[in-house]
Structure 1
Amino acid sequence: MSWILDGIVIFILLIGVIVYLSWDKMKETAGFKQKWAVLCGEEDKKKLYWLVMLCAGIILMVWMQMLYGDRSNLSMGQIKVLTLVMILFACAWTDMEKYIIPNFIILIGAGIRLLYYIPELILYQAGFFSVLKDDLIGILVVAAFLLIGLLIVRSGLGMGDVKLLLVMAFYQGLTGIISSLFFSLLIAFVGSVYLLVTKKKKRKDTIPFAPFILAGTYLSIILTGF
Structure 2
Amino acid sequence: MDINPMYNLLVVSTSTIYGSEFLSYIKEDFVDFIQSDELLFVPYASPSGISFDKYTAKVQYALADKNITVTGLHEYQNKKKAIQDAKAIFVGGGNTFLLLKTLYDLDLVHQLRSQVAKGIPYIGTSAGSNLTGLTIGTTNDMPIVYPPSFEALSLLPFNINPHYLDPDPNSTHKGETRETRIQEFHQFNSQPVLGLREGSWLKVSQGKITLEGSLSARLFQANAEAIELTPGLINF
Q: How high is the TM-score relative to the length of structure 1?
A: 0.29
Larger radius of gyration: 1
Higher strand proportion: 2
Higher helix proportion: 1
